[in-house]
Structure 1
Amino acid sequence: MGFFQQIRKALIALVLVLVLSTATACGGATTAQSPTSLPGNTGSLAYSQLERGNSAAGQEFGAWVVQTAKGLVQDAYVRDDNKLGVVITPQVNPNEVKDLARSLAQGFHHNFPNQDVSVLVYAPDKKLILTAKYDQQSNKIDYKAG
């Protein structure tokens, strides 16, 4: 990996960590809305019909992630205030996916504290490529491909 690619990868991760950890997705009371299923499990509901979140705070955070990611994330959703799903753009290199997932998991946990959170990263074709599970007790992130 070239020097400039390493610098780019580190800068993307640093910017996302800083942005996601300093910004707060403020929201009012949480009210559950349908659907509560994940994109991989939508049944007859088309992917385009999913909302950014099934709570006010989740919707705001999902919209904020897409807006703040500057072309790295084309879509995002939050379910039950502990699952963040993101669809990445083709501009994200495969070797940057884990760093992006780590940054998103840290920022997501910062905005939805006191619980374990998961970040599901989907390819542009909506296929699950990586799951990052943040364990609050150990402050560690476990990754699972596909």
Structure 2
Amino acid sequence: MSLLQQSRKILTTFALILVLTITTACGGNVSQVDRTTPPPGVGRDVTYSQLERGNTAAGQTFGDWVVQTSRGLVKDAYVRDNNKLGVVISPQVRPNEVRPLARSLVEGFRKNFPNQDLTVLVYAPDKQLILTARYDVQSRQIQYS
């Protein structure tokens, strides 16, 4: 891999981290939905894409935002119960860029859904789980597995 290609990949990763950090910091508060309320049933009022991206309005909005602002690095995203984010990355994400991308997603997720433990699941383009990042609100640490 040439130095130019490697530099481009690194700059793309940092640009995504910067975009996610800035836009979540400037995005305002997202109200948290009462977790005791059951998710809406499948019917005429709920479209398939809403079921895919989030089972709450806030989760739907965040999942849409992740895909739109990722500049092609994230092909699909979903949020469940406002504490679990799953993303399917595109083939252009290099293996050494997966962990920084997951960290960036945890930071954005934490800012939109504060004061709770969070999980970010990163899936390969073939939808195989490749990385799990768990944020612990007490220790403020991210554990990768």
Partner of residue 55, structure 2: 54
Choose 1 or 2 for highest CA Rg: 2
Cα distance change on mapping 1:96 and 1:29 into 2, 3 Å: closer
Cα separation, partners in 2 of 1:2 and 1:113, compared to 1, 3 Å = farther
Matched letter for residue 104 of structure 1: L
When the two structures are superposed, what TM-score results if normalisation uses the length of structure 1? 0.76
Q: Percent identity?
A: 64
Partner residue, 2:90 = 89
Q: 1:99 offset after TM fit, Å?
A: 1.0
* Residues 60-103 of structure 1 deviation map (CA, whole Å, 9 limit, x = unaligned): 00000001001111000001111100001111111111111111
Equivalents in 1 of 2:15, 2:112: separation in Å? 16
Q: Which amino acid aligns with 2:133?
A: A
Query: Structure 2 vs 1, CA of residues 19 and 29 (structure 1 numbering), >3 Å: closer, same or farther?
Result: same
2:12 is aligned with 1:12: yes
Q: 1:98: which partner in 2?
A: 99
1:142 aligns with 2:139: no
Q: Shift in Å at residue 3 of structure 1? A: 4.6
Structure 2 residue runs without a partner (length 5+)? 42-48
Q: Does 1:21 align with 2:27?
A: no
In the TM superposition, structure 1's runs of 4+ consecutive aligned residues that sit over 4 Å from their partners are 1-6, 25-29
What residue ranges of structure 1 are gaps of 5+ in the alignment?
36-47
Distance 1:82 1:70, change over 3 A: same
Q: Give the deviation of 1:12 after TM superposition.
A: 3.4
1:75 to 1:113, Cα distance in 2 relative to 1, 3 A: same
Give the whole-Å Cα distance in 1 for the aligned partners of 2:61 and 2:108: 14
**Kindly tell me: are residues 9 and 56 of structure 1, through their superposed partners in 2, closer, same or farther at Cα, counting changes over 3 Å?**
same
| Deviations 1:78-134 (CA, angstroms, capped at 9, x unpaired) | 011111000011111111111111111111111111111111000111111100111
* Partner secondary structure for residue 63 of structure 2: helix
**Count of matched residue pairs:** 133
RMSD, aligned α-carbons: 2.6
The farther-off stretch of 134-143 and 81-90 is: 134-143
- 2:81 maps to 80
Query: Is the CA contact (8 Å cut-off) linking 1:72 and 1:92 kept in structure 2?
Result: yes
